Structure 1
Amino acid sequence: MTGGSTVHDAQSLPSNDNINSYSFCIDLNGEWFTSKGAMIAYYGNIDFAGVAAFASRAAWVASRFSSPIYTQDWVIAAGQGKLVIGDRGFDINSYDLDAGNLTIKASNLLAFETGLELKQSIVPGFLTLIGTGKFLASSSGPVIFVEPPFRADPDALLGWADCPSPSVHYDHNWMAQSFMAGIQGMFGRESGEERQYDFTGAGTILMQSSEQMRADGALVRLVESQTNLLDAQSAGSLGQRLVMRSQQQ
């Protein structure tokens, strides 16, 4: 290789640290929960198994991973070696919880140590980590930390720690003043100017520098499961609105 590129091997890769802004190297000696597809390379003897399959052999998995909708999107990496994690060129940061409680957008959570317990948040599309340990999360651009009271664009919101779950705030003045916002609202499209998450109390909110989002297949499954509550007419109406929304986008 030329041009000053660094060539890594198992010894030169960092231990539980970033290789660069877009990749992280886990010094694996045991087990980690990892998002399916996050692994980009590894050295050593590492096996990967789906969370559901692993739980049938180890009861501790079920006690640590309490989010049925997201089960099929996660695997357990077990063994010894260097495990490299990435997410399509998004920034990757590591965070340490010490007897903490943090809620994060599910599509941005990449991996976490088994000392942490994962639960499904009451806010759709988010997961909550509880306990002590390290986790990895991606972001579209650098992460910004802010304190409440604060209102956040849902697309730019990454997560929050040590504060109550947000309420939803609608800016009716924006809707009244913007004809196009009203039309988009009819088709199910919203902007940060129209709808925000409203945080109060004490704590820390994590924001992405961009509104670019990753697809969340589990969120689609969650919404689909709720359509069983609709009658035929309501389901048909919802289908038409979703078609119009996709055409608008």
Structure 2
Amino acid sequence: MPRYTMEEFIRTTRQKDLGEGKFELERDRLLEINLNGKVWIKRGAMVAYLGNVKFIREGVLEHGLGKFVKKAFTGEGVSLTKAEGTGKVYLADTGKKISIINLENQSIFVNGNDLLAFEDSVSWDIKLMKRVASMMSGGLFNVKMEGTGMIAITTHYDPLTLRVTNDQPVYTDPNATVAWSGNLVPELKTDISLKTFVGRSSGESVQMAFRGEGFVVVQPFEEVTYITTAA
């Protein structure tokens, strides 16, 4: 374990301006937002801030009736806080690793639990994988991010991105799936030949099947609360 004098510790761990834009990785697990206007952040993710910044919990109907109904129906989804003003805001989420993605008129699906922050210029909507509803209690919900601007996502440890092609589909564990390209429409399949995963009670292993042209991001960690199997 490193040992420092007081001066060494301050010098080694001090905040550094990297000049990388609105979203910067101050550390692998700490996001710095250079705020001049408005961004949306995951509720409870702020760990510190500097400057004149206000944090406003999203209004019930702030994002429209459609998103309100979806949130009420799912009982989950995205809980957001609006950070507004001028200054620096620092975000973290239970020590998870942070990746910054700059969308350029593109779209990506993100597991709602792994969405840390995004610029106000990026539009979003909660999406239900309808084919899952018959397998899962409540179905499987993700967030589609679309437009131009920066988003920050989190993963347990280092993410792995797998290329999906027409000749090579990709199959993933939903509990380890973080994100995928916005043009892909995954399907859910079960494979009773596989052993039941820890925490599953259905006796069947559920997989996400990605076909087409795009990518899917997974993490070396299974978030067993990500989905629940039907009783």
1:5-43 deviations in whole A, cap 9, x for unaligned? 53435xx34452111111010000000011101111000
Q: Which aligned segments of 4 or more residues in structure 1 are displaced greater than 3 angstroms?
A: 2-5, 12-15, 181-185, 187-190
Q: 1:54 to 1:142 in 2, by over 3 A?
A: same
1:19 equivalent to 2:49? Answer: no
1:115 to 87, 97, 121: 121
RMSD: 2.9
State the secondary structure of the residue aligned to 1:107.
Answer: helix
How much does 1:183 deviate? 11
Larger Rg: 1
Higher fraction of strand: 2
Report the equivalent of 2:148.
132
| TM-score, scaled to structure 1 | 0.71
What's the counterpart of residue 218 of structure 2?
207
In structure 2, what is the Cα distance between the partners aligned to 1:164 and 1:33? 25
The answer on 1:34 being equivalent to 2:54 is no
Identify the residue that residue 86 of structure 2 maps to in structure 1.
80
Q: How many residues align?
A: 202
Q: Following the alignment from structure 1 to structure 2, what is the Cα–Cα distance between the partners of residues 125 and 197?
A: 13
- Three-state SS of the structure 2 residue aligned to 1:19 is strand
Contact 1:41-1:85 within 8 A present in 2 as well: yes
Instruction: Give ranges in structure 1 of 5+ residues lacking alignment.
Output: 56-61, 224-237, 242-249
Does the 8 Å contact 1:51/1:71 carry over to 2?
A: no
Structure 1 partner of 2:135: none
Gaps of 5+ in 2: 1-5, 130-139
Percent of aligned positions that are identical: 22
* Residues 206-225 of structure 1: pairs in structure 2 closer than 5 A: 206-212=217-223
Pick the structure with more helix per residue: 1
User: What aligned pairs does 1:36-115 form with structure 2 within 5 A after superposition?
Assistant: 36-52=43-59, 55=62, 62=63, 67-68=67-68, 69=71, 73-115=79-121
- Normalised by the length of structure 2, the TM-score is 0.77
Letter in 2 for 1:18: L
